[in-house]
Amino acid sequence: MPDGSVVRSGTNYSGKFQEAHDASKASIQSRISNLESGGVKGTGESRLEYLRGKYGELTSEQLHANINERAGIAFPQRSTRSQLKNGGYIVEDVDLYKKMSPNKNRALGFRNTKNDGLVQAHHAIQDEWAKIWAKTSGNNYSSRQAPSILLKSTSGEPHAIISALQRARRRNEGFSTDIIYEFNISYKEMIEVGVDLKVAKKVMREAYRYFDGLGGFK
């Protein structure tokens, strides 16, 4: 596979999320306006004030989860204290980079050693690009908190090929590409190098949820 080659056909994977998210967000903002303008009989409070007093305010993650759910894109909310995988992580597992990267959290035979094929945690969205994006956009991106997938990195293996594709792209495109483009090309590259379709979709859904929570799709 030549460096820089990408899949030119297929579904605009992240674009449909953006369209659904925008439409749903506008709908929710409209409903909030209606809540603010309507009162609750006998309380002297607006409907929104009454509900906030009764149930409390939603966290940012809960709000984005509700927006996505209304758009038909339901992701389970991951607990920030979720446990490591029982038995250790293996190739094509998906989780936060900080959990997947340490060898101590891996199953035997799936560590970052030559004998195991240099299994490494690969950020769904290129970490170097994300750091530059965060700096220029003012978003609080964290390499350790970003979703990743475990892939082998020896010559000819998926992680090595994706890294070569990324280097070739950066020579031509630099790092000024937008987030929608990065989601689409990252997904295509994973499919191109042989990552299981369901796994590729899973890690991209996790990445969308993470970057959406940072305000990346506003």
Q: Would you report the helix, strand and coil content of the chain in percent, each value rounded to 5?
A: 50, 10, 40
Q: Quick one: pLDDT at residue 127? A: 98
From residue 142, alpha-carbon distances to 60, 92, 132, 168, 214 in Å are: 17, 21, 12, 25, 10
pTM score, whole prediction: 0.64
Provide the residue ranges of all domains of the chain, joining segments of one domain with +.
14-70, 86-213
From residue 53, alpha-carbon distances to 29, 50, 56, 94 in Å are: 19, 5, 6, 38
Cα–Cα distance, 15 to 183 (Å, whole number): 9
How do the pLDDT tens digits run along the chain, 218 residues long?
434 443 334 455 555 555 655 655 565 566 556 555 566 556 666 655 655 565 555 555 555 555 555 555 544 444 444 588 989 999 999 999 999 999 999 999 999 999 999 999 999 999 999 999 999 999 999 999 999 999 999 999 999 999 999 999 999 999 999 999 999 999 999 999 999 999 999 999 999 999 999 999 98
Q: Quick one: pLDDT at residue 80? A: 42
